[in-house]
Chain A
Amino acid sequence: MTAGLEHYLGVSALLFGLGLVGVLLRGNLILMYLSLELMLNAASLALVAFDRFNGTRNGQILVFFIITVAAAEVAVGLALLVALYRKRQTAQVEDLTGMKL
């Protein structure tokens, strides 16, 4: 039995769901960040799978961009997290309610 498109998409959906649950339920900002990356990678996996089964290249180009942007985003995001931690001494999302009225 060879792996078909549906298997790839199933893995992708699983990863995406895990990421989403992580973002929604974990309180630590770093873990939420990791979950976000998981969701991005799920999307990348789905795109690459589509390309592979359709014989096109467009999705792969898009994935390159996603990886590049994700790398930059991680750099900025982690820097923000470190700055936040230095200022507030916490990385728990429940403590960051400064935008509430």
Chain B
Amino acid sequence: MHSLPWIILFAPLLAAAGITLFTLRNPARSALLSVSAVAVAFVLSVVAFLVFPAPSAPVELSGVWLAVGSLQVEFGVRLDPLSLVMLLIVTGVGGVIHVYSCGYMRGDRGTGRYFACLSFFTFSMLLVVLATNFLQLFIGWELVGLSSYLLIGFWYERESAAEACKKAFLTNRLGDVGFLLGIILVWATLGSLHFGELAAVLETTPGALGAVASLAGLLVFCGAMGKSAQFPLHVWLPDAMEGPTPVSALIHAATMVAAGVYLLCRVFFLLEATPAWPDAAPAWLDGITALGVVGWIGGVTALLAALIAVQQDDIKRILAYSTLSQLGYMMMAVGLSAPVPAMFHLATHAFFKALLFLGAGAVIVSLHHEQNIWRMGGLHARMPATAWTFLIATLALCGVPPFSGFFSKDAILAAALDPARGSGGLFLVGVAVAFLTAFYMTRLVLVTFQGTPRSAPASEAVETSPVMKWPLVVLAVPAALAGFWSIDRFLDRHFHPAAAAPASGWFEQWVAPLVHAPLAVLLSLVAVGLGFYTAYLLYRGAATDPLPAKLGLLARGMRAKFYLDELNAWCIRLTHDALARLADWIDRWIIAGVMVRGTHGTTELVGRALRLVQSGNLQTYVLVVVLGIAAVLWLALGPRP
């Protein structure tokens, strides 16, 4: 039992090291190593889940890793309901995607490198999930960013991929600066980095953080904003689709981008602490709490990304914006003091969004790397397994009962309606996003799988190989049924260990959302139905997009991602480039001009002047020597002042 989490953690790292050292040139063996490592991790995670003891007692194994003065940093693993759920998602969904990768990457020259990176990513993600303290989590966090960088830029000879990985890395860095400052602030105030100790301190004295409570929460949220691609740091995620599709499924949909949500749930006690600002802060900050900011950033991201997704043409980009939008949902839930629905949605989203990406990958492979949905069409008849599983995932994403997404999404909407902590504004945003989600997913499914083939590859497409087909089927099961697995009840133990959730049957769970918050369910179902209906009317048999003609300027804005990339570029030109020009000017004129060339010029000038003294006339030299001796004698023996 005690070595279990360690094996789970280090098996993928061993695989990554083994592949890098020995089997880099052998694709089959690399794949075998990588897949078996993640399979071992998954099986052991299931075992850990089954033998996990009492509900409220986390299992923790750790040793002191670093001791500097009063700072004690441990390296360990922590098993509690939160990390167990994440373990199962990372190794389970990850395992399926590893298998799928064997098919997707067949014939690629860098397959060995691909699997090494994938295993390394799994290790880093597990490090984040199992971390017992802030510093360990931060190390994993950065390693996750690194492996994401390596995998987005996997096809580095493509310029767009090289640019995208740079963008992702830099944007993440921006958030991580805030995260690191937050960690330092927490340590400076409370003197500990350990999650358990921090939680205990803040539980007994909610005001322990004093005046920096809100600031610490927001700084930690900065890290989550970068990794989970929340507005305004969301710009990297759509570009990250330049990586191989399984990577998009695993890292940029199911696990890594969810790490931000996981982080906020892990340190939820920090966000919950009594909000306070330093005395010097302006008065208008008083009404702002960390949770409120988290909720509204999430809401804005959800709405914005859903709007942009409506007018994208690249199948992976639509899914990327949908991911952004769903991550916004999760952030919104955290902001509404509802971490359980947030993690619940994270889990179901991991299943159905990974499935959607894998389906998209199958389509892309069958169509010889065509990604524009307007050159697809009619694929339902030619790729039935892909089409059916894609449809299941779509229904789950839209929140149609009884698919998994319905339960998690409605838990979030119900939290928004909760009279104690809810927010009417965020509820409306949630319903609007539900409508948009149904709309753009229906558009995607109708244009891709229905109608007639609109290009030669689309009319010749065939179902992919079994190694790519079966992972879809396997993932379709949790995507459809995860709503009944009481993931939320299991997570409840973590956040409310005291209140034992009442056991209930299958049917009670089915209708629980209806009983709990009927208004949320009804409104969201109406919105989803409306989304289906309008999209069906617009895109049934459409050969081109009818929306730009109907919406005009709005559609143009959606298509151009609301010019946010351009806005960023403009801001960077304004600030960063001006700074660079200033630095260049200083370098060119002050440092190189005055200091370097000045020194060199003075030396040379003096040298040239002194050269004239060397006349070559022996008698002049003698005269100088004599005069020199006379001067020395005068100084030594002459009159004293």
Contacts and interface: CB of A to CB of B under 8 A. Distances in A.
Interface in A77-101: 93-94, 96-101
B611 A23 contact: no
B617 interface: yes
Interface in B612-628: 614-619, 622-623, 626
B618 A96 contact: yes
A97 B617 contact: yes
Contacts of A20: 626
A24 to B, nearest CB: 6
Interface in A41-73: none
A24 B615 contact: no
Nearest to A97: B616
**Count class of interface residues, chain B:** 10 to 19
**Count class of interface residues, chain A:** 10 to 19
B611 A101 contact: yes
A100 B612 CA distance: 10
B626 A100 contact: no
B97 to A, nearest CB: 77
B619 A23 contact: yes
B619 A93 contact: yes
Contacts of B622: 23-24
Contacts of A97: 615-617
Interface in B580-636: 611, 614-619, 622-623, 626
Given A20-B626, A24-B623, A100 B614 contact: yes
A24 B630 CA distance: 15
A96 B615 CA distance: 11
Contacts of B618: 93, 96
B616 A24 contact: no
Nearest to B619: A24
B619 A101 contact: no
Contacts of B615: 97, 100
Contacts of B619: 23-25, 27, 93
Interface string B253-268: 0000000000000000
Best-buried of B614, B616, B618 by chain A (most CB within 10 Å): B618
A87 B611 CA distance: 28
Given A97-B617, A100-B616, 10 more contacts: A20-B626, A24-B619, A24-B626, A93-B618, A94-B617, A97-B615, A97-B616, A99-B614, A100-B615, A101-B614
6 contacts: A24-B623, A93-B619, A96-B618, A97-B615, A100-B615, A100-B616
